[in-house]
Structure 1
Amino acid sequence: METQLERAPLSHGKGTTFLRTCFNGLNALSGVGILSIPFALSQGGWLSLTFLFLVAILCWYTGLLLLRCMDASPLIKTYPDIGELAFGRKGRAVICVFMYLELYLVAVEFLILEGDNLDKLFPNQEFKLGHSKIGGRQGFVLLASLVVLPTTWLRSLGALAYLSVGGVLASIILVLCVLWVGAVDGVGFDGEGTLLNWSGIPTTISLFAFCYCGHAVFPTLCNSMKDRSQFSKVLLVCFLTSTATYGSMAALGYLMYGEHLKSQVTLNLPIRKMSSKIAICTTLINPLTKYAVIINPIATALEETCPLRDSRPISMLVRTVIVVSTAIVALVIPFFGYVMAFTGSFLSVTVSILLPCFCYLKIDRGLKKSRIEIGVIVGIILVGLFVGVVGTYSSLKQIMENLRK
């Protein structure tokens, strides 16, 4: 019986340009992590900032490994295709479970973020739904879901690139607004910080890993390009730019609020200042521009299982169901920061660090590799396993402790 990979048609470029692919890639990498990055630094101390650069380098390298895996077969279109080429149907199933769960939880985090920040901007609001009243945060989550829904109906990554431009600009504006709050609006940069806090390192690295969880989207972006050979340059541009943005935001937030940082830096900002309102509004725009890119691989996979896979109404129905389900989960999950840490340590580390290494070693085992390259990849696997186990245990422990309160 032939596999899904064997049945797949040859993938031809969809015509997405280098610049548009860069915007899509940056949009995938520069997610809600930019809000939690100062909190991550506050948990580990100033020296933990070196882990941000280390995680960035590891994830950039594993992104290149995915590209090499794709070069092994013209039939590969998606990340699960890579898993199937490496380990058969079991490999596809494992990657699908981790990848789609990761993307799904990121989409959920987007809606939680919308609810939290709208509730801060418009406190004590209530919504009437029939004879029932809905609290402000819950109502804002539902409102955000309705706003984001039409963007998910766009199937072309070339069209989504226009949304991605808005997402990238929103991240830059957010950093500038936080800088303005500290330099001009009187908050200052006198926040006390520690040099290193070992007990907070697991949370710090888990959140850093979450910031670079774009690997599930990389194969889709690569195949959308007019010239796939340029994708390695796209990766370099995306990781350099996003790391500069993350590092700047982490340092600014920690200098401003020190150990008092909340899980989202916008929740620390003085609400009466215009710069704070701009920052929060920008934060609200950011997830709305990224949501469609993040859920696109999930929707595409579900659509391919339908008999009428090319039907526009079916596509819209599938994407609508995804939005509705993420809204429901967002209303149930109580903890933004700890859920993000769990996603980073368990899912992001697996999808972005471990699985690319395992797939590459399996697919290219017939080729001669230098001992140095094999040693580097094995070292990355060991680091990933350690971070995944320790970070997952730490985040689950924190979630359980807060549930008991």
Structure 2
Amino acid sequence: MYVWTTKFALPQNMESQSQLQVSNSEQHQKGTTFFKTCFNGINSLTGIGILSMPYAVSQGGWLSFILLLVFTMIFWYTALLLQRCMIKHPLIKSYPDIGEVAFGYKGRTVIAAFIYAELFLIAVELLILEGDNLAKLFPNMNLKLGGVRIEGRKSFVLLAALIILPTTWLRSMGALAYVSFGGVVVSIILIGCVAWVGEVDGVGFHERGQLVNWEGLPTAMSLYAFCYCAHAVMPTLINSMNDRSQFSKVLVVCFVTTTMIYGVIAVLGYTMFGDYLMSQITLNLPSKKLSTKIAIYTTLINPFTKYAVLITPIANAIEDRWLLCKRKSIAILVRTTIVVSTVVMALFMPFFGYIMELIGAFFSVTMSLLFPCLCYLQINKSVRQLGSELIIIIVILLIGTFIGIMGTYLSVKNIVNHL
């Protein structure tokens, strides 16, 4: 009979099982606290999507808020499924581990390819975002390195990477929680600046908007889905906790808080600018106002608080694969290498921004909706019996498939139109 001999194989005797329990206990006693995990989770969920949330509502109309709430519950539920998989197999440490438990080595390979490609490309996008926005604020910026003159956007990409680099050396998710706290504060400041522009700077809240815009609903749906696609880092957050059973409460705090943040800025932006909203709320704000400048600088700070959390699963996978976890100098080298590789791609991929929507639709929806359901069904075979839970999972699979196909089609169409 075939015996599964990977690192997830169960102990063969009571003594080894006892040793495993003691080892796990010692590991999680030093883990991240409940509140620090909440900050990491909220920071992962409230990404650059906060800028486009008002635009999403303007595309779908006021009734599209129902979709926002529906997506909140769906993505919360699929994150909960990942936790259930990890509780059933305590040795699971990452998303690819879940894939291996569910579908063997092939499952691990497929999920690892999706997750690390998604996280890596989002990290590249953050550097491009920094370079593009700073180049607009300071168009005459030049940088000299060893006699080589680097101009414009590329110089800001390099500077942003140098500033971000030290945060990636923080291996502890507890330490990264302080960086994540800064990300939460940045989101609150952005909301405050938008509210200030409407109330004090004279823009006002006079736009009524549309009740529903059927033509724009697919766009609104894609943006709502993208905003909650943080499942790639969820297993890392779970494994970092000193009490993994508390993660279900963490999910409630994270998704409720994130939905409130998204909802507030969406209402503010839509009542201020209505159907004239641009893809980013900062582009609508009056350029000469102090509050607008603060909002823009706040937007530029945001990627600095998210980059390290995004690449941590990639770094952890490399360190675990080559047994480098206990060597701090090698860990720093691994993280530095990842940063350098994202810088290279950010510098030499001028059309990356046009295909980012395609990557988000294809990778993010697959990782956050489809894979959690499929892995959970495979690991928990009792769920396959017809019941309410199976029906919910099937509905989520259908929704995820629809969003993935529709989002990919629209993204490809936009790319073709911009060629």
TM interval, short-chain normalised? over 0.9
> Superposition pairs for residues 11-50 of structure 1, below 5 Å?
11=24, 12-13=27-28, 14-50=30-66
Equivalent residue number for residue 154 of structure 2: 138
CA distance, structure 1, for counterparts of residue 215 and residue 6 of structure 2: 46
Q: CA deviation at 1:368?
A: 7.2
Q: Where in structure 1 are there 5+ consecutive unaligned residues?
A: none
Equivalent residue number for residue 389 of structure 1: 405
Q: Which moved more, 1:65-74 or 1:368-377?
A: 368-377
In structure 2, the CA distance between the partners of 1:63 and 1:287, relative to structure 1 (3 Å rule), is same
How many residue pairs align between the two structures?
Answer: 403
1:165 aligns with 2:181: yes
Q: Deviations over 1:120-150 (max 9, x none)?
A: 3334434445555444333212211111011
CA distance, structure 2, for counterparts of residue 41 and residue 331 of structure 1: 33
CA distance, structure 1, for counterparts of residue 352 and residue 184 of structure 2: 22
Q: CA deviation at 1:64?
A: 0.8
In structure 2, the CA distance between the partners of 1:113 and 1:257, relative to structure 1 (3 Å rule), is farther
Amino acid at match of 1:269: L
1:182 aligns with 2:185: no
Which of 285, 302, 307 matches 2:318? 302
Report sequence identity in percent: 60
Q: CA deviation at 1:319?
A: 1.0
> Superposition pairs for residues 287-326 of structure 1, below 5 Å?
287-306=303-322, 308-326=324-342
Q: Is the 8 A contact 1:115 1:141 kept in 2?
A: yes
In structure 2, the CA distance between the partners of 1:250 and 1:336, relative to structure 1 (3 Å rule), is farther
Equivalent residue number for residue 396 of structure 2: 380
Q: CA deviation at 1:215?
A: 1.0
Q: CA deviation at 1:119?
A: 2.7
Q: CA deviation at 1:367?
A: 5.5
Q: Where in structure 2 are there 5+ consecutive unaligned residues?
A: 12-19
CA distance, structure 2, for counterparts of residue 368 and residue 131 of structure 1: 65
CA distance, structure 2, for counterparts of residue 251 and residue 391 of structure 1: 24
CA distance, structure 2, for counterparts of residue 397 and residue 159 of structure 1: 42
Match of 1:187, SS?
A: coil
In structure 2, the CA distance between the partners of 1:67 and 1:387, relative to structure 1 (3 Å rule), is same
Aligned-CA RMSD value: 2.3
Amino acid at match of 2:238: C
CA distance, structure 2, for counterparts of residue 18 and residue 164 of structure 1: 14
Match of 2:171, SS?
A: coil
CA distance, structure 2, for counterparts of residue 48 and residue 202 of structure 1: 10
Q: Which moved more, 1:348-357 or 1:208-217?
A: 208-217
Which of 116, 130, 135 matches 1:114? 130
Equivalent residue number for residue 166 of structure 2: 150
Q: Which moved more, 1:110-119 or 1:233-242?
A: 110-119
> Superposition pairs for residues 252-263 of structure 1, below 5 Å?
252-263=268-279
Match of 2:231, SS?
A: coil
In structure 2, the CA distance between the partners of 1:89 and 1:113, relative to structure 1 (3 Å rule), is same
Equivalent residue number for residue 196 of structure 1: 212
Q: CA deviation at 1:103?
A: 1.3
Q: CA deviation at 1:380?
A: 0.6
CA distance, structure 2, for counterparts of residue 143 and residue 52 of structure 1: 36
1:104 aligns with 2:104: no
CA distance, structure 2, for counterparts of residue 343 and residue 313 of structure 1: 33
Q: Which moved more, 1:330-339 or 1:194-203?
A: 330-339
In structure 2, the CA distance between the partners of 1:254 and 1:99, relative to structure 1 (3 Å rule), is same
Q: Is the 8 A contact 2:125 2:346 kept in 1?
A: yes
CA distance, structure 1, for counterparts of residue 76 and residue 113 of structure 2: 22
Q: Is the 8 A contact 1:67 1:219 kept in 2?
A: yes
Q: Is the 8 A contact 1:207 1:345 kept in 2?
A: no
CA distance, structure 2, for counterparts of residue 261 and residue 231 of structure 1: 37
Which of 284, 292, 297 matches 1:276? 292
Q: Which moved more, 1:122-131 or 1:285-294?
A: 122-131
Q: Deviations over 1:174-225 (max 9, x none)?
A: 1111111122112233457444333333332222222112211111111211
CA distance, structure 2, for counterparts of residue 24 and residue 396 of structure 1: 33
Q: CA deviation at 1:31?
A: 1.0
Q: Deviations over 1:259-285 (max 9, x none)?
A: 443332223322321111111121122
Equivalent residue number for residue 228 of structure 2: 212
CA distance, structure 1, for counterparts of residue 126 and residue 10 of structure 2: 35
CA distance, structure 2, for counterparts of residue 44 and residue 334 of structure 1: 31
Which of 375, 398, 410 matches 1:359? 375
Match of 2:232, SS?
A: coil
Task: Normalising by structure 1, report the TM-score.
Answer: 0.92
Q: Deviations over 1:143-187 (max 9, x none)?
A: 111110110011001111111111111111111111111221122
CA distance, structure 2, for counterparts of residue 370 and residue 80 of structure 1: 28
Match of 1:217, SS?
A: helix
Which of 210, 233, 239 matches 1:223? 239
